[in-house]
Amino acid sequence: MMSKIKFVVSALILVCTYQTCALADVNYPLKQIRIVVPFTPGGSPDVLARTIGQKLAESSGVAVVVENIAGAGGTIGADRVANSAADGYTLLMGHVGTLAVAPAVYPNLPYDPVRSFVPVALVARVPNVLAVHPSLSVRTTSELVKYLKANPGKINYGSGGNGSAAHLATEYFKLATNTFVVHVPYRGTAPSVSDAVAGQIQMVFTGSPAIIPMVRAGKLKAIAVSSLKRMETMPEIPTLAESGVKGLEGFEADQWYGIVAPNGTPVEVVKKLNQWINASLATPEITDRLKSEGAIPMHASQEEFGKLIQSEIKRWKPVVVNAKITAE
């Protein structure tokens, strides 16, 4: 009799637990949502997270906070989210570096971009802008490449850290043009751009949201963009692919950003988030704001975003290997 009572009680607990979870999914969210940006404030991930966060707060009816957890090319913040509760209240602003490049750069990566997360929504593509300090006497890609070939190792470039999107894009550029520029890793995009403006380094090749304001203010000189098409907001900046420089034919190295959640997050919660984020990306307010930053809003299903992550892992691994990019 006692064993039967224990069985019934256990079954009731399981049913109640299931019902509670189901109810939580239906009523989600019941508390504030946190979006982790795995870099310092001021860079493209931070700008995009705060832009999307504002609209997500309106759609969800709860506060959305952005938390910057920088370090190790974004992998510290990504790992923190991977090990968070899979309840939809902790999200990651992932990007090409943390979700596609990191597996090739970090041999002991503590998370798996495919297995540790569930794709929620692709947010934007962000062309990288190749820019130099105004004191550098070059105006075009061909002039820059010529200058770099004549001065190997005398020019420094900054990135948001080893394995970051900016690091990868610049190394890809170096391989394509057979040039040598010294890499100076920073703990985020903003510090690297600040040092470029100050003349501590001479070149940056990073996301347009962090670069465009400096270019418009005359503090940095834009040379080219990494996309195959010119940016709508600054069409005067040519693409690297149209530069006519040998090795840059078809060159494309845009960054992309998207929200992911810890693996195991309830399906209905992920669907809600995907719908809210895609709806916000379709509003003129967000579209105009992202475009003004040089970002291109993207609309994709969870499945499409997941396929992008897997294809990009395959795409960038050979670049990492050939450029001998390693974590330090």
Indicate if the pLDDT at residue 218 is higher than 90.
yes
| Average of per-residue pLDDT across 80-87 | 98
| Residue 310: per-residue pLDDT | 97
| Average of per-residue pLDDT across 259-287 | 96
Instruction: Categorize the per-residue pLDDT at 84 as very low, low, confident or very high, splitting at 50, 70 and 90.
Output: very high
Lowest mean pLDDT among 159-168, 254-263, 297-306: 159-168
Instruction: Categorize the per-residue pLDDT at 328 as very low, low, confident or very high, splitting at 50, 70 and 90.
Output: low
Instruction: Categorize the per-residue pLDDT at 162 as very low, low, confident or very high, splitting at 50, 70 and 90.
Output: confident
Residue 237 lies in a domain: no
- Contacts of residue 87, defined as CB under 8 A and 6 or more positions apart, other chains included, come to 24, 265, 266, 269
| Average of per-residue pLDDT across 59-65 | 97
| Residue 103: per-residue pLDDT | 92
Residues 136 and 99 in one domain: no
Residue 103 CA from chain centroid, whole number? 15
| Residue 241: per-residue pLDDT | 97
Residues 45 and 90 in one domain: yes
Residues 104 and 72 in one domain: yes
| Residue 160: per-residue pLDDT | 83
Nearest 10 degrees: CA dihedral of 123, 277, 57, 310? Answer: -50
Residues 114 and 133 in one domain: no
| Average of per-residue pLDDT across 258-262 | 98
Residue 288 sits in which domain range?
A: 31-126+256-322
Residues 262 and 185 in one domain: no
| Average of per-residue pLDDT across 309-321 | 93
CATH number, domain at 87? 3.40.190.150
Instruction: Categorize the per-residue pLDDT at 26 as very low, low, confident or very high, splitting at 50, 70 and 90.
Output: low
Residue 238 lies in a domain: no
pTM over 0.85? The answer is no
Among the candidates 177, 209, 225, a domain finishes at 225
| Residue 19: per-residue pLDDT | 36
Residues 113 and 150 in one domain: no
Indicate if the pLDDT at residue 224 is higher than 90.
yes
Q: What is the end-to-end Cα distance of the chain in Å, rounded?
A: 63
Residue 246 lies in a domain: no
Torsion sign (Cα): 67, 72, 76, 77: positive
Residues 270 and 303 in one domain: yes
Residues 187 and 270 in one domain: no
Give the helix ranges, DSSP H, for the chain: 2-27, 44-60, 75-82, 96, 102-105, 141-150, 165-177, 189-198, 208-216, 267-281, 284-292, 302-322
